[in-house]
Structure 1
Amino acid sequence: MPDQTIPAGSVDAELTAEDAKLVTLARGARARVNAAEGASVRDQDGRTYAAANVTLPSMSITALQLAVASAVAAGATKLEAAAVVTEASTLDGAGHAAVRDLAADAPIHVASPTGTLLGSVTA
């Protein structure tokens, strides 16, 4: 799947408190290990999972893939929402696909490292 360009005009004036928390968790995961990206997801029970991207000689996994994997490993079967904090202008295809494996229409909020919402992908 190709990268998802953040749709022009998709920036919401405000996030819900729960979605803003996802952005905060993603920022923290990114900053904690000085990673390129941080991500977080919220499952059907309201539990949250945060992660940073991992790049090793033997493997690479995006922050959003790892957050989804953590949720699934803890028993999540559905996602309500996700957030990615990145300097990129696109949402990575692998992370997008991982969220869609558990939720066809959950919003994926993309924010800058400062926490400014760049846009939301819902498809």
Structure 2
Amino acid sequence: MTETEPSGTPELPTEDKKLVTLARATRARTGAAQGAAVRDQDGRTYAAATVSLPSLEVSAVGVCVAMAVASGSTGLQAVVVLGDGGVADADLAIVRDFSGAGVTVHGGDARGTISTTTAS
């Protein structure tokens, strides 16, 4: 079970602010429902948007984690999800499956205003 704290617009660490910028830009560029960005254990970042095709549906977090796994990453340090619907339970499950408990997951609106911070 994860705990979510509504936090308005918290003061994020600098590295997490970079994830907000990447997620916001990716979502805006594609016009997707959500944009996400993750930072892996080595400090590499991955950004993606929701994929919604007739034959393929993948959340923005799912795409980010798939890219990290395909690049040889061994886990995540932080996740940002921006856009419609907030952070889905399925996305938290993806983060836990890949990285275990304790990964910081920030959720916010399309403008990048963070409204929730959750630990996987």
Written as runs of structure 1 = structure 2, the 5 A alignment for 1:1-123 is 7-11=4-8, 13-88=10-85, 90-103=86-99, 104-123=101-120
Structure 1 runs, 4 residues or longer, greater than 4 Å off: none
Q: How many residues align?
A: 119
Q: Specify every segment of 5 or more residues in structure 1 that has no aligned partner in the other structure, as ranges.
A: none
Task: Give 2:71's aligned amino acid.
Answer: A
Partners of 1:26 and 1:6 lie apart in 2 by 23
TM-score of the pair, normalised by structure 1: 0.88
TM-score of the pair, normalised by structure 2: 0.90
Partners of 1:5 and 1:26 lie apart in 2 by 22
Partners of 2:9 and 2:54 lie apart in 1 by 38
1:87 shift after superposition: 2.8
Q: Specify every segment of 5 or more residues in structure 2 that has no aligned partner in the other structure, as ranges.
A: none
